[in-house]
């Protein structure tokens, strides 16, 4: 693994992550309350205002998968009676818990004092926390987030979420921490959130250039790491995103492509938009399927599950609770299918993409339900053909490398053939001289 | 002759097609894909080149051609049989202790087999899609059983010799110089002395005609194994789309069910793929599934379709998972369901799965062309007709006798139309494609 190429900011992030898991391991010793919560719609600024330590079970699952440990955890959960069809994030987390709740870096994770469910767009989240509540017998705070069925956030929806923050979430946090809510501390966090969000949005928008200096999906999942989790609102996040932006600015000025694990991508042949989460168990191989073909992700929907920053969302210190409500309501998976199709179509057009790939994961109904319909709709809206591949989040049994490679290569060759029109009947032969190989 | 080569390295069979500058098919070759992909490709490619020369020689010869063609291929088979005999002898002799008894017995079996060769390898007896290994294997088995019954050699030991020898023999490339083989074929076909003289001259003339491979493209399941430059490799989805379109220009949807995967492909009015869907990781509902079921029922693969067509009341098979379906078949047979009904149900299950992929790819809005090994199965074709009509209304469904060459044809067309000159330059370095 030593020859894997990384951006300097990736090294910085690795340190941040190691520090984070170290802090979690010390949380009980330092009498710091622990809150388990999920990435979509997370209220990390509010948690930081109470000085609690947040744990993200999905992040643990994907980190375990990238370290090839998810398979054992999943089998553990299945031995305990969870069906093969249950979301693999859930089983990975439960399996990890059953094996002593040792986190991806090898340090023990603290048990929760509060389970904070701040996004209900994923029904599995509720069931997941029900199982954890059974195990830990701790407080649960649930924020019901209305679905954007009609395609917009109405004032009533916002007010409904704010009311729950005031009546349910904040009192529970006050209870487990013994501290009074301080709106000024929340505002301070949000000022820093906003700064980091500006830089991240700039980084993603840089992919509009040719060649794109970033890979907005495979590289993008690293870029969203700090801001989607415990670092948003921290000075560390501001520093990280300033560093990332400077790196991307440099590549942009040099007209250089993204850094892949095998080195810089020198020839951008295909610009693609991605829908759906990546596979984590074979992440590098999955990326390589595309990078080997000169395919670059110029935009992705997965990098919007924890904040639609490219589309303009920013945390607003002037209206902190309302902005938290908007954040929860605007999760990408809380959008209706027509809205998601419009987001994808905007990306295809705005980033001048040659095509789009839908990666349908078995585990995640929030993403996967309706994706074939989405494929056809985006094709209609853009006139650009889509490609469809299937695997899973953290269950390696559902990742078929040869099948994915075959589909992706076929799709890219289809785009190339359409671009060239080379297969048109009567097209001239391209070999004037005779060749005897 | 300036020709373009397409090679389709499938999981079950390897095919090669040669086309000329006018995109006419001039030669085809096919062989079973062995454990050795490189040999399979080489055999298919050489057969296609030989086929192209044979077609040219026959054209020049005129008249009496079918008899010469049949004799020509028989001569190739006889040479292979001779090599098999030599390999069997060597294998038996090398077996410690038993060699002295096994060698003459295996020789006796192969002598009898050679005596029947004319009938055994005749085009009619051999049938479509049977390879040397299939034809010889079945007859060796029967003759060996007979010989062993009367002698003191153990049947299983004898089969062991054959199994080892056939692997070696079929991975050996046997080639007779074209002129020599054509002259021998003319003699064997019983041509008059004058015409034999003429055939000999034609044979040597065609053998001397240089074939320039102006382009080549490889495709298929094992395409990554082909000794071709990267840009001379195309996805089988694109090749099947273009190949089917070339065979039937009204085609707008292609269903390809091969050994390992099922593909539903939509093409436009130029034969370009606009959309496709294929099965997930497992080969459920593909050719392998039928092979597995055939083994379960101790039937030949080619027997499944005709038997299923005799069904009046297809069983309901709920699984297309190969392993689960095997269990389900045993369960159904154990409760007394007829074999033809179970088989009919299985074929319907395969096509039901294919229908789902067709729907996902965009449906059947115009002519559908069915390709791949499973398209040779009459029960699969019948089920497809039924279900397409039920879902989409009456549609033309094309099933060509030569549909197995669709991918290779598409590859050859890509070679003719689209390989950039610099890749062909690079290909000069490539030793795997020498004509």
Query: Which chain A residues are Cβ-neighbours of B270 within 8 angstroms?
Result: 421, 423-425
How high is the pLDDT of residue A434?
A: 28
Name the residue of chain A whose CA is nearest to B429's CA.
A437
Q: Report cis status (omega within 30 of 0) of the bond before A211.
A: yes
Backbone dihedral angles phi then psi of residue B385, each to the nearest 5 degrees = -55, -50
Instruction: Please give the C-alpha separations between residue A402 and each of A100, A397, B81, B282, in angstroms, as whole numbers.
Output: 35, 13, 37, 11
Topology match between the domains B1-57+210-234+405-435 and B249-399: yes
Is A434 inside a domain boundary?
no
How high is the pLDDT of residue A435?
A: 28
The pair of structure tokens assigned to A257 is: 């492509």
Regarding predicted confidence, which is higher, B223 or A358?
A: A358
What residue has token string 């492909």? B265
| Half-sphere exposure (Cβ direction) of A422: Cα atoms closer than 13 Å | 22
For the segment A11-25, what is each residue's pLDDT rounded down to a tens digit? 899 999 999 999 999
Name the residue of chain A whose CA is nearest to B220's CA.
A406
Query: Which chain A residues are Cβ-neighbours of B214 within 8 angstroms?
Result: 429, 431, 434-435
Regarding predicted confidence, which is higher, B224 or A351?
A: A351
What is the pLDDT of chain B when averaged over all its residues?
86
The answer to whether the CB atoms of A434 and B272 lie below 8 A apart is: no
Q: Does A312 touch chain B (CB under 8 A)?
A: no
Which of A431, A432, A433, A434 is best to mutate for the B interface (most B CBs within 10 A)?
A431
8 Å CB contact between B217 and B19: no
Q: Answer yes or no: is pLDDT of A391 > 90.
A: yes
The answer to whether the CB atoms of B235 and A406 lie below 8 A apart is: yes
Q: Does A253 touch chain B (CB under 8 A)?
A: no
Angle at A221 between CA A69 and CA A186, to 5 degrees: 105
How high is the pLDDT of residue B124?
A: 64
Three-state secondary-structure class, residue A340: helix
Is A115 inside a domain boundary?
yes
Lowest-pLDDT choice from A402-406, B30-34, B194-198 = B30-34
How many structural domains comprise chain A?
A: 1
For the segment B52-93, what is each residue's pLDDT rounded down to a tens digit? 999 999 999 887 678 898 899 889 889 989 999 999 999 888
Q: Average pLDDT, stretch A137-159? A: 94
Bridge partners for A263 per DSSP: A260
How high is the pLDDT of residue A437?
A: 27
Residues 347-376 of B with CB under 8 A from A: 360, 362
Regarding predicted confidence, which is higher, B129 or A310?
A: A310
Give the DSSP letter of residue B232: G
Angle at A250 between CA A249 and CA A255, to 5 degrees: 95
Q: Does A150 touch chain B (CB under 8 A)?
A: no
For the segment B219-263, what is each residue's pLDDT rounded down to a tens digit? 987 777 777 777 888 999 999 999 999 999 999 999 999 887 899
Is A426 inside a domain boundary?
no
Q: Average pLDDT, stretch B158-187? A: 88
Q: Average pLDDT, stretch B206-212? A: 93
Residue A114 is inside which H or E element, if any? strand A114-117
CA distance A406 to chain B (A): 7
Burial of A238 (0-12, 13-18, 19+ CB in 10 A): buried
What percentage of chain B carries pLDDT values higher than 90?
Answer: 43
Is A193 inside a domain boundary?
yes
What is the pLDDT of chain A when averaged over all its residues?
92
Cβ-proximal residues to B155 (8 Å cutoff; 6+ apart), any chain = B144, B145, B148
Regarding predicted confidence, which is higher, B318 or A225?
A: A225
8 Å CB contact between B398 and B372: no
The answer to whether the CB atoms of B416 and A414 lie below 8 A apart is: no
d(CA B142, CA B136): 10
Regarding predicted confidence, which is higher, A224 or B317?
A: A224
The answer to whether the CB atoms of B213 and A432 lie below 8 A apart is: no
For the segment B344-385, what is each residue's pLDDT rounded down to a tens digit? 998 998 898 899 999 999 999 999 999 988 998 999 999 999
d(CA A60, CA A39): 11
Domain boundaries, chain B: 1-57+210-234+405-435, 73-170, 249-399
Q: Answer yes or no: is pLDDT of A203 > 90.
A: yes
Q: Answer yes or no: is pLDDT of B208 > 90.
A: yes
Task: Record the pTM.
Answer: 0.85
How high is the pLDDT of residue B284?
A: 66
Lowest-pLDDT choice from A77-86, A413-422, B210-219 = A413-422
How high is the pLDDT of residue B11?
A: 79
ipTM surpassing 0.85: no
How long is chain A?
A: 437
What residue has token string 């984070």? A20
Is A433 inside a domain boundary?
no
Lowest-pLDDT choice from A31-40, A344-353, B256-265 = B256-265
- What CATH superfamily classification does B1-57+210-234+405-435 receive? ATPase, nucleotide binding domain (3.30.420.40)
Is A435 inside a domain boundary?
no
- The domain containing residue A247 runs over which residues? 8-416
Angle at B265 between CA B264 and CA B269, to 5 degrees: 150
Q: Does B312 touch chain A (CB under 8 A)?
A: no
Sign of CA dihedral A183, A184, A185, A187: positive
Q: Answer yes or no: is pLDDT of A319 > 80.
A: yes
Q: Average pLDDT, stretch A309-332? A: 95
The pair of structure tokens assigned to A169 is: 């979430």
Is A114 inside a domain boundary?
yes
Q: Could you tell me which CATH number the domain at B249-399 has?
A: 3.30.420.40
Query: Which chain B residues are Cβ-neighbours of A421 within 8 angstroms?
Result: 270, 272
Cα dihedral B321, B326, B328, B332 in deg (nearest 10): 150
Q: Average pLDDT, stretch B332-336? A: 87
Q: Does A406 touch chain B (CB under 8 A)?
A: yes
Q: Does B310 touch chain A (CB under 8 A)?
A: no
Name the residue of chain B whose CA is nearest to A410's CA.
B235
8 Å CB contact between A360 and A371: yes
8 Å CB contact between B44 and B17: no
Q: Does A267 touch chain B (CB under 8 A)?
A: no
State the pLDDT confidence band at B424, using cuts at 50, 70 and 90.
very low
Q: Give the residue ranges of DSSP H helices in A254-391.
A: 283-291, 320-329, 337-350, 365-368, 371-382
Residues 159-188 of B with CB under 8 A from A: none
Q: Answer yes or no: is pLDDT of B310 > 70.
A: yes
Nearest CB partner across the interface for A385, out of B2, B274, B421: B274
* Count of CB atoms situated within 10 Å of the CB of B24: 8
State the pLDDT confidence band at B125, using cuts at 50, 70 and 90.
low
In DSSP notation, B119-156 reads HHTSHHHH-TT--HHHHHHHHHHHHHHHHHHHSSS-HH
How high is the pLDDT of residue B434?
A: 37
């Amino acid at each position: 693994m030593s020859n894997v190429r990384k951006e300097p900011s990736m090294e910085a992030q690795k340190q941040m992550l190691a520090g984070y898991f170290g802090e979690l391991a010390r949380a009980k010793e330092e009498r710091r309350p622990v809150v388990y919560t999920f990435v979509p719609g997370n209220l990390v600024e509010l948690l930081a205002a109470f000085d609690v330590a947040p744990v993200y079970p999905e992040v643990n699952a994907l980190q375990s998968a990238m370290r090839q440990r998810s398979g054992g955890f999943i089998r553990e959960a299945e031995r305990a009676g969870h069906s093969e069809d249950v979301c693999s994030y859930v089983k990975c987390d439960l399996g990890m818990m059953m094996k002593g709740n040792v986190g991806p870096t090898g340090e023990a994770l603290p048990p929760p004092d509060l389970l904070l469910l701040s996004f209900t767009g994923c029904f599995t989240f509720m069931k997941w926390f029900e199982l954890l509540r059974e195990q830990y017998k701790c407080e649960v705070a649930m924020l019901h987030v209305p679905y954007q069925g009609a395609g917009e956030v109405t004032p009533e929806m916002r007010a409904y979420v704010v009311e729950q923050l005031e009546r349910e979430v904040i009192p529970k946090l006050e209870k487990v921490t013994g501290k009074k809510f301080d709106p000024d501390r929340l505002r301070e966090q949000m000022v820093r959130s906003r700064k980091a969000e500006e830089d991240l949005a700039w980084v993603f928008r840089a992919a509009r250039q040719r060649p794109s200096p970033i890979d907005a999906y495979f590289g993008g999942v690293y870029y969203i790491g700090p801001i989607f989790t415990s670092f948003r609102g921290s000075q560390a996040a501001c520093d990280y995103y300033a560093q990332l932006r400077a790196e991307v600015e440099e590549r942009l000025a040099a007209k250089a492509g993204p850094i892949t694990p095998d080195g810089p991508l020198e020839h951008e042949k295909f610009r693609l938009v991605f829908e759906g989460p990546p596979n984590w168990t074979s992440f590098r191989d999955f990326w390589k399927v595309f990078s080997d073909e000169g395919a670059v992700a110029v935009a992705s929907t997965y990098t919007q599950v924890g904040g639609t920053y490219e589309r303009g969302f920013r945390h607003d210190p002037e209206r902190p609770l309302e902005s938290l409500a908007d954040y929860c309501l605007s999760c990408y998976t809380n959008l209706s299918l027509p809205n998601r199709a419009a987001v994808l179509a905007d990306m295809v057009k705005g980033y001048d993409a040659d095509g789009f790939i839908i990666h349908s994961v078995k585990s995640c109904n929030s993403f996967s339900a309706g994706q074939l319909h989405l494929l056809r709709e985006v094709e209609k809206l853009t006139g650009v053909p889509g490609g469809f591949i299937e695997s899973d989040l953290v269950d390696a049994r559902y990742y078929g490398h040869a099948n994915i490679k075959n589909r992706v290569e076929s799709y890219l060759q289809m785009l190339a053939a359409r671009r060239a029109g080379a297969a048109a009947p009567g097209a001239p032969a391209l070999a004037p001289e005779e060749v005897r190989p | 002759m300036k020709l373009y080569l397409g090679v389709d390295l499938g999981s079950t069979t390897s095919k090669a097609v040669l086309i000329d500058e006018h995109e006419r098919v001039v030669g085809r070759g096919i062989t079973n894909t062995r454990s050795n992909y490189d040999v399979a490709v080489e055999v298919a490619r050489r057969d296609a080149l030989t086929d192209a020369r044979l077609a040219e020689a026959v054209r020049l010869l005129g008249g009496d051609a079918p008899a010469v063609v049949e004799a020509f291929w028989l001569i190739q088979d006889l040479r292979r049989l001779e090599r098999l005999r030599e390999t069997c002898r060597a294998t038996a002799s090398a077996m410690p202790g038993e060699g002295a008894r096994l060698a003459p017995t295996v020789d006796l079996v192969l002598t009898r087999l050679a005596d029947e060769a004319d009938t055994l390898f005749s085009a009619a007896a051999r049938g479509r899609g049977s390879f040397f290994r299939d034809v010889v294997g079945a007859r060796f088995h029967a003759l060996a059983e007979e010989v062993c019954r009367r002698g003191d050699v153990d049947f299983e030991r004898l089969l062991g010799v054959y199994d080892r020898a056939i692997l070696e023999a079929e991975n050996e490339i046997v080639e007779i110089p074209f002129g020599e083989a054509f002259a021998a074929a003319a003699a064997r076909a019983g041509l008059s002395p004058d015409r034999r003289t003429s055939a000999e001259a034609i044979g040597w003339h065609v053998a001397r005609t240089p074939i320039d491979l102006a382009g080549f493209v490889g495709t298929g399941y094992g395409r990554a194994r082909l000794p071709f430059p990267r840009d001379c490799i195309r996805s089988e989805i694109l090749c099947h789309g273009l190949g089917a379109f070339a065979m039937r220009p009204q085609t707008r949807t292609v269903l390809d069910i091969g050994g390992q995967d099922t593909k539903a492909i939509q093409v436009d009015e130029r034969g370009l793929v606009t959309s496709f869907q294929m099965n997930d990781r497992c080969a459920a509902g593909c050719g392998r599934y039928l092979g597995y079921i055939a083994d379960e029922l101790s039937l030949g693969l080619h027997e499944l379709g005709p038997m299923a067509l005799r069904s009046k009341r297809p069983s309901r098979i709920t699984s297309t998972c190969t392993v689960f379906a095997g269990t389900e078949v045993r369960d159904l047979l154990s409760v007394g369901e007829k074999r033809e009904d179970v088989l009919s149900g299985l074929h319907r299950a395969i096509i039901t799965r294919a229908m789902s992929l067709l729907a996902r790819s965009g449906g059947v809005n115009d002519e559908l062309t069915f390709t791949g090994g499973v398209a040779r199965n009459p029960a699969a074709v019948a089920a497809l007709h039924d279900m397409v009509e039920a879902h989409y209304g009456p549609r033309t469904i094309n099933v060509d006798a030569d549909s197995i060459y669709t991918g290779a044809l598409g590859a050859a067309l890509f070679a003719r139309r689209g390989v950039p000159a610099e890749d062909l330059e690079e290909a000069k370095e490539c030793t795997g494609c020498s004509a």
